[in-house]
Structure 1
């Protein structure tokens, strides 16, 4: 018995990122398991962007920083971008302090600053 496929290309929503929900507390044993969960998620979805929901991580600490650094490394090795969703403001400050830069969901991408706008001056008016 054969199964007929519908005509045309399959529907793939490339704009929908894969989501990995992180919950605390973070221990050394859980770090390796969460990195493996990320690899499994990437193999299953083939996504180009993974959103890590960091809302449930609890109070930030060095274990959380270690986890996020390893997840970011795992994602980069797979050629995928990692984005954080709903991080605690203290976690965001701690990541800045240790020099880890993450894309944050809902923030505009870093781009070049806009060029200066020059106003038109009427003939005979002094330039400011």
Structure 2
């Protein structure tokens, strides 16, 4: 099964004080095998920024390294064309609170035919995807 790996899931999984931590840990144990994870360089940058405080930085760094070396994880480096398409989407939906990283994620998910998102972000549901991290 292919899952899109979003920032909120990464934060929840690695930060024990996150409100979704227990749920993220539980979900990670029940994902349908074989697992293939897809994320973007933009998501990993956002994740690193969110955990940039001195006491969390090491966790973020180590987890990104783990993902980079995991044969079941694909990290899509956002291309110039994808960035432009994401920026157009970001500017188009004035009625949404979608961030640019969200828009890039939606584009990659559509390009790869992914419907399941490991996220607590309801913006993914607004865009027509299924989110798996909920309280």
TM-score, normalised relative to structure 2: 0.30
- Whichever structure has more helix as a proportion of its residues is 2
Which gives a bigger RCO, structure 1 or 2 (Cα 8 Å, sep 6+)? 2
TM-score, normalised relative to structure 1: 0.31
